[in-house]
Structures are given as C-alpha cells and as structure tokens.
Chains A and B, each alone.
Chain A
Amino acid sequence: MSGADPTLAETDWSAGTAPATGASLRGRRVVRRLARNPLAVSGFVVLCAALLGGVLAGVVAPYAPDQVQFDAAFSPPGTPGHLLGTDDLGRDLASRILFGLRSSLEASVLAVAVALAAGVPLGLAAGYLPVLDAVISRLTDLVLAFPFLILAVGLAAIRGPSLTNAALAIGIAQIPGIVRVVRGETLRLKALDFVAAAIASSASDAWVLARHILPNAMSAIIVQATVAIPVAILGEAVLSFLGLGIRPPQPSLGTMLADAQQYAERAPWTAVVPGVAIMVVTLAFNLFGDGLRDALDPRGGGR
C-alpha cells in the first residue's frame, strides 16, 4: 500500500515487517485500476484487434487489397464474400481496411517516434537548464502558433507525398506537445529532494537527467504518446485525403475516403466504412490513453 494518503495510515499487516513485494505491486495496481474502467478496457480490446488486424493483414485479409473484380463492383456490405462490401473497382473493402489500418498505424507510430525522439531531449533540456529554456520555449511557442494540420499539410507539400513524409510532417507538428509535457515534468522533478541528494553526491547533469528525471517522467510521456497516436492517425488520414500522404496503390484509410467522395450517393458505404474505421480506432486509442492517465495519476495513489 502506498503511504501517499495522509488520512489513511501506512499498512502493516504483520506488525513490524514491510510487505515483501517489489515494483510489481505498483504495476499490478495500475493494471487493476485500468481493468476497472470499462471504457479503457473496450478501448484496449479494440486497439488490440486493430493492431493484430493491421499486422496480420496479409494473413487475415480475405482478398489482396488491390485485387480488382469489376463484376463485383459496388457490392453493398453483407454481400456474400464481401463482408463490408466493395468499392468502385470491386476491391474488397474489408481487406482494404485491414491494409489501410496497417499503413495508418505505420505512419502514426513513425510520427510519434519522431516527435518523441526530438521532443523528449528538448523538453528535458528546457526544464533542466534555464538558459536553454528561453530558446526552446520560444521555438515551441512559434511552432504551436501554427494550426496543427496546416503545419502538417505545409510540411508535406514541401517534401512531396509519401508515407514517410507524411509521418515526418505530423511528427514535427507534434513535437511542441511533447516538449511541453516533458518540460513540465522536468521542472517538477528537479525541485524534489532526491535530485538534490544526487547532486550533493556529485551527480552530473547527465546522470540526474538519465537516472532520476527521465524514468520518473515516463508515465507522463507514455500517456502523451498514447494520446498522440490517434492525432497522428487522423493527421495521416487527412494528408492522404488531400493527396499529400500515402499514394495509391498502397491502401490508406484517407485515400479510401477521398476516392469515395464521388460515389457518396450511389454507394455510401464506400465512404462510411473507412470513416467509421478511422473513428473507431481513434476513439479506442483515446479511451485507452485517458484510462491509462487516470490509472497512473497520483490522485489515485499511482506515484
């Protein structure tokens, strides 16, 4: 039991000896708290399904994503053999969704990785060294002044459409968010006594950052990343929709949406299916991320 709540005493089930468990107790607590949150659990389940589906698309999908079948074009959902229907070229939507998910996840994970790779060190530096803080904070403010999607679109347009460029653009646009969170955590942790104790034992700045500050900031970073992924998924979808991201024949949820525009009246499912897929995955990540944040939150005794 954590001793964080002053109105309830520290536990001692057998007088004198402390409970004999390690960090697993904390991890188990977080998991337990998550498990009690039905929204977070459903988000997690959907996430896993999406991830598995995307990763195993080659195995699971009934058809190849670009397999054209003109005679089956515009089949509505429920048609035997095509659970979610087909598009204008007779391509199976269910299969395309799976492969599209894979691309979306690839792009968004790459984007968040870029954001973390740049944002975490910048955030640490800004929080720990006041001199650098002035510069870094002004830069992040500058980037934040641009609306996220405009920035992403602008960057992608400069570099030309491709999955990597889209991921890069989105990642760069997400850097300020990461920097903000990491800087805040660094400032908070820097003031704690255990950091002072390390410095008094001759710890260098690098030691303090790597050994004390970064590990303790991990919860906040993980939560931020979990929430950044759906933003990236949406971002990729938008970019692809605009033709600035994934190019055909590689399937992408965004391009599926874009192509479906012209057939909206005749075969609405060609737009609805990818749209709902985007919505469900994004929602799942958000619910899980929120649940994770609540489970790790100090108010619930997580720290």
Chain B
Amino acid sequence: MTPTRGAVPPPAHPGPAGADASTATPPAPASGPVLSVRELSVRFHTEDGTVSAVDRVDLDVAAGEIVAIVGESGCGKSVTSLALAGLLPPTARVEGSVRLRDQELVGAPERLLRPLRGRDIAYVFQEPMTSLNPVLTIGRQITEVLQVHQRLGRAAARERAIALLKLVGIPSPERRVDEYPHQLSGGMRQRVVIAMAVACDPTVLVADEPTTALDVTVQAGILDVLRDLRTRLGTAVLLITHDLGVVADIADRVVVMYAGRVVEQAPVHQLFARPRHPYTHALLGAIPTARRGSDHRLREIPGLVPVFAEPSDNCAFADRCPNADELCRSSTPPLEPVKGGQTTNPLHSHQFACWHPTTPPVEAR
C-alpha cells in the first residue's frame, strides 16, 4: 500500500466479487495494526488544577479498518485523537506510546512529527467551513498539500487534485477545482476536506465528528465516501463520534470511552447485540426508537460525568451505575475479554472493564 506518486491510487483491496461498498468486509489485518496506541494518558495543567483527560487508553487500528471511538462530552475521545499527532496545546502532558507503523510519536520532536502530519496521518474535523481557507480556491488548497508533501509540480498537482475531487464524489471536478469554499454546500466542503486529507494517501485518517454539523441527508454521502476510501485505498480510519447510528452504519470495531478510559471495545455487531458494560448498555437504551405510550422510557443516567484531577483507583462509572458496589468504588476494573472471546490479537476481541457486567442481550427493537 505504498503511496503512488502523481496518479490516482489503484484500488488496493478488491472486495468479494459482486459485493457493494456498504457490505464489503474489510481486508484482514495483514501484519498487525498500522496504528498502535498503548497506555496513552493525557493530563492538562490548567489554572484551576490538573485534569486527567485520558487515562491509559489502548487502541489498535489495522489497515482498511474503520474503528469508531464513541462517547459523550468529556469522555476524552477528541483529546485522544489530537494526542496521536501531537496536536494538543502546551498545557497537555502526554504519556504512553503511539506507534504509527514503526514510528513512535509520543515525545517525538516537532521536526519528526511535522512531515508525518498530512502525509501519514491526516485529520478531518467537524466544521468544514473553518477547515477551509475562505480566500483560496479549493484546488489551491489541495495542491498546496501535494506540493508540500510530495513536491509535485503545479500541473501535476492540479491533475491530481481533480482526480481526488472525483474520488470523493464531487460532480464536475474540473469546474469545482477553481471555486471557493463559500460556493459549495456544507456536504461538498466536507468532501473537499476529506480529499485534502487523503491527498497523500495517509496510513491513518482521523475523522473527528465529520458529519455532526451536516444535515442527515448529506451525512449518508460523507459516510459513503469514508467507506469507499477504506475499500479502495486501504486507509485505516479512526472515527470519533457520539452518534451510535453512524457507528452502526460504518464502523468495523467500536471503542467506548467514559471519563477518559476505555470501558468496552468490540466488533460492531457484538457491541450492539450484547454489550457488557453498564454504560454501553445505558447509552444504547437512551436512544429513542419505540413509540411513547408503550411504557418504554428512555434510559437515563443520573448524575454527571466526573472530572478526575489524577487517575483514581476506582471504576469511573461507579457513582452512576445501578450495579455498583464497594469493589467498584475501590479498584479499577481491568479491560478483559468476554469468556470464550479470545482471538490471536486480544485487541480484536470483545473486551470490557467492569466488575459486574450485564449479561442479558439488549431488548429487541
């Protein structure tokens, strides 16, 4: 999956014959994950004290895999994603390990990180309008990325920019390439941002709430683009979101975070069918589906997300959990696989961190 220069990257992994993009199974992890996160912790030193935003997160993403990090505000998912490429403000202290292929990123000096950003690990953020420079044409913004990282000449860069716009599904790309961001709709802009992100065929694409600011009819198109890129370019995608519908649509594996910790990880079907952690259970139960009046109240979680100054030795969810007991409040449950769920790579099995996991399946919808 080496980046090809100056040409549209060929489809890297042809899926099973006849399958369409939405049901194509991701290519099996070739030789291990392309992004490997171990014991990642992030602490912020603010004027009001220290805040432990991320606490010992472990995470793997394989080539061509879409991993979704799910959680509500304050869970640390965005901080985790920014920590990968060293994009946090100077008040943050990052510990642990982030390996992109064989390159260690935590603690690496700027001169090593800067060439990686955009070329090996690229980001797509929530607000397309603020991600694009309003005074430059979109063609210019894409070619800029190409010229910086791949040293393409102007004509070659422009051709590739047009090819990239076509890749993300923008109609009439030869015309659009000379337009300005304000001439495009929100969905189009987000496609342009994605095109810029994949311009250098990065190993990992980190998308932080890429569809949250978009209308729902446009959202489906963006998710299609991400799925398509995964299949055709073999890009590993780390998707940050709070929307479980998006997760159900596109993710291969799901990581659930709460108060800076990973509380459950599983392949997507297993997570929705049989969640083990009470928080995951509550999250799924909070989504409205049934008609009211059928005695089905949405599941509420009493209390608020805690903020820890230092990582504490207890279950972060204990105060709000209906099953919590002394054990939960006095020691941190470790991340463990479900019974009989081990695979060769423990990070690809279904794991959860709870002393008293829930076992019944989620109510049928």
Contacts and interface: CB of A to CB of B under 8 A. Distances in A.
Are any A and B Cβ atoms less than 8 Å apart in their complex? yes
A247 interface: no
B47 interface: yes
Given A1-B48, A33-B47, A10 B320 contact: no
B79 A11 contact: no
Interface in A1-34: 1, 6-12, 15-16, 32-33
B96 interface: no
B302 interface: yes
A303 interface: no
B51 A8 contact: yes
A204 B307 CA distance: 42
Interface in B296-340: 302-307, 319-320
A12 B46 CA distance: 17
Q: Give the contact-size bracket for chain B.
A: 10 to 19
B307 A9 contact: yes
B78 interface: yes
Given A15-B303, A15-B304, A15-B320, A9 B74 contact: yes
Interface in B69-112: 73-74, 78-79
The interface centre, meaning the residue of A9, A12, A16, A36 with most chain B CB atoms within 10 A of its CB, is A9
Contacts of A36: 47
A16 B79 contact: no
A9 B79 contact: no
The interface centre, meaning the residue of B53, B303, B304, B319 with most chain A CB atoms within 10 A of its CB, is B304
Given A1-B48, A15-B319, A7 B303 contact: no
B355 interface: no
B320 A8 contact: no
B44 interface: yes
Given A16-B302, A36-B47, A11 B307 contact: yes
Contacts, number: 43
A283 B170 CA distance: 57
A14 to B, nearest CB: 9
Query: What secondary structure prevails in chain B residues at the interface with A?
Result: loop
A15 B306 contact: yes
A6 B242 CA distance: 14
Interface string B47-60: 11001010000000
B320 to A, nearest CB: 6
Interface in B229-265: 259
Given A1-B48, A15-B319, A7 B53 contact: yes
A8 B304 contact: no
Contacts of A8: 44, 46, 51, 53, 74, 307
Contacts of B306: 9, 12, 15
A36 B46 CA distance: 13
The interface centre, meaning the residue of A7, A12, A33 with most chain B CB atoms within 10 A of its CB, is A7
Contacts of B78: 7
A7 B304 contact: no
Nearest to A10: B304
A224 to B, nearest CB: 25
Contacts of A12: 303-307
Contacts of A1: 48, 307
Contacts of B74: 7-10
A2 B259 CA distance: 18
Nearest to A29: B48
A11 B303 CA distance: 11
Nearest to A36: B47
Nearest to B259: A9
Contacts of A6: 73
A205 B343 CA distance: 68
B73 A16 contact: no
Contact of B304 (A9, A32, A33, A300): A9
B234 to A, nearest CB: 31
A153 B18 CA distance: 86
Interface of B: 44, 46-48, 51, 53, 73-74, 78-79, 259, 302-307, 319-320
5 contacts: A1-B307, A9-B307, A10-B74, A12-B304, A12-B305
Given A12-B307, A16-B302, A36-B47, 12 more contacts: A1-B307, A7-B74, A7-B79, A8-B74, A8-B307, A9-B259, A9-B305, A9-B306, A15-B303, A15-B319, A15-B320, A16-B303
